Amino acid sequence: MQQVTWLKGLSITIALASTPLAHANTNNASTHSLTDISGVNIVDNSEDLESALTNCQFDEDAEAGCAILLKPGQYSLDSLSDIGIGYYTELSGLGAMPKDVSLDGLMVATNDYSAYTDTRTFFRSIENVELPSDFTWNVSQGTSLRRSIIDHDLTLSKDGISASGGFMANVSIRGALNTGTQQQWMSRHIDSDWIYSSSTWGDNGVFVNATDSSGKELNIDPASFNGSEQFNHFEQSDLSQSSNQPMTEKPYWVWDDKTNAPLIRVPTTDVATSQGSHLTDESASAVDINNQQYCVISADDSTAIDDCFSGNYQAVVFAPGQYHLNQTITQKGLVVMGLGYPRLIPQNPASPALSIQASSTKVADVMLEDSTLSDKTQQAPLLEVAGDATSGSTLYNVFVRLITKQSGTQVPSIDISQDETIGDNIWVWAKDINGAQQGTSDQGLLISGDDVTMLGLAVEHVGTSNLAQVKWTGNSGRNYFYQSELPYFNDASQLAPSFAVTGTNFLGVGLGVYSVVGNATMNSGVSVPSDSTIDMAFDWNIDNSSSSGHVSNIIEVGADNYPQPTEVNPDGAGSKNYYQPSS
C-alpha cells in the first residue's frame, strides 16, 4: 500500500505580503447613486427596516434581489413575527464596527419550498451587525454570516427542522453555538464559549482558526453532541498557506458622513495565521473606496457596464437584478461587489460572463447563472479566473445556479487557472426540483492553478462518467470543507469521483459526498494522489436499498481504495461512512 500522510490540527505560521489596490482616476462620479437604485434600501430606523424586509420577500426563482443597508444605530423588530430575510436578500450594517449597528428580534424567513424543511433556505446573508439576543440562523447553501457579533447563543436550525448549510466567517459568539440539525457547516475565524448539537443529524463540520472566548483552541466535545460521537464529525484545522498570497476578509460597506453615501472598506490585514474573530481592532489596516471612486451598475441601465470597467474606478458595484454580459477584467486590484445577489449571465455563450485576467482582483457577493441559455449552448465557463498573477485573486460568496441542461458541453461552470487564487464560500448548484434535475452540467469546478485555497466549497448535482464534479490538477492546493450531492439521475449512471485531485501536495479537510436521490453510482467519492494530506473524508448513502444510487468507497488514494466502515444511522436514513485516521 502506498504511503499517505494524515493531518490532525497542524498549525503553520508564515509571513504573507499584501498587495495594494490599483490607483484609479477619482474625478469621475459614479454612474448611479446607490440611493437611487431599485432594490437598494438604505435605512436608519426600525419602521423603515420592517418595511424593507416585508418588501424583500421573493421566491426561489425570482429575478429580483434586495440589499438592506443599515446606518449606525439601534434597531428592533419585535413586531415582525413571521417576516425575516428572504431569498436574494443581503442585510449589512454600515458601521465602522459591528457594534455600531445593533439589531434585535431578527429571524430568518421560511423558504417557499416547504414549511417543514430548511434544506432550501438559500441565497441570503447578514454582515457587520451586532445581535444582542439569542439568534437562529436556519439556512442552507449559498448563504453567509460574516463580521458579526452574537451576544448570546447562536442556533443553526429551527424547531428540529432539517437544514443544509452553510458558512460563517469572522463571527464572535458570546454564548453557545448549537449546530442543531445542520447536515454540514463551514466556520472560519470564529470564537464561541462552547459548541454542542441538539440533533444527531450533523455530518461534516469544519472549524478553521476557531477559538473559545479566551482565545484558546475551541473545545469540541463529542459527548456534547446529543451524546453521539458516531454521527457528528467535526474537524478543527488551522489555515496553512505556503504561497505569498495574503488571506484578507471580504470588503464591506461603511457609511461615509463626508459624502453622505456608503463607501467600500477593503481589509488589507492578512488573517491567515490569526485565531478567532477579529472584530475589536478599530485600527485594522484597510483601504476605503468612496462613492466617487466606485461605479454602480443598475439592472435598469446596463449600458454603464463598459464605462464602469473602463479602468477609471477602483471598484464596480452590481445592483440587484440580472445582467447579460461578457466582461473581461484586466485592471489589477479591481474590486467587484454585488448587492442583493445580482445574477451575471453570459450574453454570448462562447465566452464567460466574467473573465478575470488580472491579479489581486476581489469579487464578492455575486451569482453566475445560465437562466437565459438554451440546453447545451454554454461553450465557456460562466466564471474564469486566469492570467499570470503576481498575487492571486479572491472570490467571496460567489455562487453558481444552473437551471438548464448543459450536459454534453464538457465545460466547467468555474475555471480557475490563476495561481494563488482563494475561494471563500463557493457553491456551484445544478437546480433540482421534486427529486429530479432541472439543471445539469458536466463539471462544476476545474482548478489548474497552483497554490489555490478553497475555504467552504460545495458543488452539487453535476458530473459525468469521465468528468469529476471538482477536478483539481494544480499543485499545492488546499481545500477546507467540501460538500457534494450526486446528480439526481435515474439512469443508473456510473459517475467519476466527485472530488478528483491529480496535483501534488494536496491538503483536504472535511471532504464529504452524499447520494440522496436517483440511482447513479460512484466507485469513490474522493480520489487523491498518495502524497496528499487528508483530515476526514466521508460519504452518506441516504437510501441503502439495492436499487438506489450509492458511493462504494470513501476515498481512493493512488491505486488503493479505503474500505467502508459502515455506521447505520439510527433514524433509518441509510448509512454514514467515515474514514478518520488516528492522530
Residue 53: what pLDDT? 93
Q: Is the pLDDT of residue 27 over 60?
A: no
Q: Any residues with CB less than 8 A from the CB of 214 and at least 6 apart, and which?
A: none
Q: What is the mean pLDDT of the chain?
A: 84
Read off the pLDDT of residues 114-137 as tens digits, 9 standing for 90 and up.
656 888 999 999 999 999 999 999
Q: Is the pLDDT of residue 567 over 70?
A: no
- C-alpha count within 13 angstroms, C-beta hemisphere, residue 542: 14
Residue 415 · residue 446 · CB < 8 Å: yes
Residue 333 · residue 363 · CB < 8 Å: no
**What residue ranges define each of the domains in the chain, with the CATH number in brackets?**
36-237 (2.160.20.10)
Residue 243: what pLDDT? 57
Q: Is the pLDDT of residue 303 over 60?
A: yes
| 82 band by pLDDT with thresholds 50, 70 and 90 | low
Helices (H), 156-215: none
The grid coordinates of residue 158 equal 429551527
Please give the full DSSP string across 458-518, using - where no structure is assigned.
EEES---SSS-SEEE-SSS-EEEEEEEE-----S--EEPPSEEE-SSS-EEEEEEEEE-SS
Flag the least confident range among 149-153, 166-170, 225-229: 225-229
Q: Is the pLDDT of residue 581 over 90?
A: no
How far apart are the C-alpha atoms of 22 and 17, rounded to whole Å?
A: 16
Residue 499: what pLDDT? 96
Among candidates 143, 98, 101, 93, which has minimal Cα distance to 118? 143
Please give the full DSSP string across 390-445, using - where no structure is assigned.
SS--EEEEEEEEE-SEETTS--EEEEE-STT-EEEEEEEEE-EETTEESSEESEEE
Considering the entire predicted model, what is its pTM? 0.91
CA angle 337, 338, 339 (to 5 degrees): 125
Q: Any residues with CB less than 8 A from the CB of 516 and at least 6 apart, and which?
A: 485, 486, 488, 542, 543
Among candidates 171, 238, 179, which has minimal Cα distance to 205? 179
